[in-house]
Amino acid sequence: MSLLNRLRDLVVSPLPVPAAWYAIPIRLIVGFGFMQHGYAKLARGPDHFITVLHAIGIPAAFLAGWTTIIVEIIGGLLIFIGAFIPLATPPMLFVLLVAIVTVHLPNGFSSIKLQSFDAAGAHFGQPGYETDLLYCAGLLALCLGGAGSLSVDGFLRRHRTRAKSSAWPGHGQPTTESPPAYRNARNRR
């Protein structure tokens, strides 16, 4: 392969790496981000977060506060390890959408609002909903594209496939007793 062909492969997507690897950086940053936000609420004291929820008018602030913390920590861990992504995503999306509507929407889109810079460093305004949308996009990408082969979901998928194939006569080899979908796939070769 010539140098020009190799360079072309590096500038045109997708890069020449296994397709399932795309999910790894998404899982790591989204999962860690959620766990960090949940842990920060615990570290400051759940009562502090619950008081904030009550102040902005969230009904059942105590229940909403603890539910949010649990969703962020457990959901973040599930995303991080790539486990049960379609199950973990809806409550996480709900937390993000509530945060957008109740906190970030009035601050506009941008998450970085540099207001000034002095000897103490940079001073920023209230963040907008940009980061929440990025988290939503990451979660939806994982739901649509899967958690990848290097994940709990990938392991479970491989295990389930092996179990199904060994249940058929000939341990997964095409036979006349295979289900119609398998015969159709075999005939396309």
**Confidence (pLDDT) at 135:** 98
Report how far residue 137's alpha carbon sits from residue 143's, in angstroms, rounded to the nearest whole number.
10
Polymer length of the chain: 189
C-alpha 158/C-alpha 154 separation (Å) is 6
> Residue 20 has what pLDDT?
76
Q: Are 104 and 132 in contact (CB under 8 A)?
A: yes
19 to each of 16, 78, 80, 137, 160, how far by Cα in Å? 8, 21, 18, 18, 21
pLDDT value of position 82:
97
Beta-carbon-side half-sphere exposure of residue 71 (alpha carbons within 13 Å): 17
Task: Give the pLDDT of residue 169.
Answer: 58
- The pLDDT profile of the chain, 189 residues, written as one tens digit per residue, is 688 887 777 777 777 778 778 899 999 999 999 999 999 999 999 999 999 999 999 999 999 999 999 999 999 999 999 999 999 999 999 999 999 999 999 999 998 888 999 999 999 989 999 999 999 999 999 999 999 999 999 999 998 888 777 765 555 555 555 455 544 444 444
Which pLDDT belongs to residue 164? 76
Q: What is the pLDDT of residue 183?
A: 47
Q: How far is CA 17 from the centre of its chain?
A: 21
End-to-end CA distance of the chain: 29
